[in-house]
Amino acid sequence: MHTAPPVDFSESIGCDPPRWISNNNYYRCLFRRKFEIPPLKVYTLKVITDFAAAHSLRGYAGDCRRLHGHNWKVEVEITTTVLDQCGMGVDFKVIKKATQSIVRELDHHYLNEIPPFDKVNPTAENIAAYLFQGISRILGDGQIQVSAVTLWETERACVRYQENNTP
């Protein structure tokens, strides 16, 4: 003989209405708890700068193996979940200063002669990673982090670098 499931008291304990599972004469209630997760507010700030530099790609069979230059465009994205007393995640001046301090090392140079590119091929991918890591060392404090660096080699070709622990 099957007995009816007990009375629904889900509203009083903050659950969705229960689902009753019948197994022979036994009823089991599967409650689905209602959880309200507050939305995580994420702010992404972006600064854009540029620099001019020459390079040549070692071991590459195409034209880029020869010395040539680019007017590189750099986009730096910073992510934060906290605003200061002024309502800012981080002052754009701070991001620009950190970015410029790294970009200045490359501007108007032959990249193949500058560490680490004297040993590492100065591809757009490697340059983007270098910029990301350098800017992260300056700015990264836990609440503010570099989430991505996009490096434009031309107006139609770019690489975006980010690390797994960034959103």
Question: Strand order of the sheet with strand 157-161?
Answer: 43-55, 68-80, 144-154, 157-161
Phi, psi of 108 (to 5 degrees): 55, 40
Question: Within 10 Å of residue 138's Cβ, how many Cβ atoms?
Answer: 15
Catalytic residue among 64, 68, 125, 163: 64
153 is a catalytic site residue: yes
**Catalytic pick from 55, 86, 108, 125?**
108
- Determine whether 70 is an active site residue: no
Of 72, 78, 26, the C-alpha closest to 53 is 72
Strand partners for 33:
15
Identified catalytic residue from 55, 70, 77, 153: 153
Active site residues: 64, 108, 153
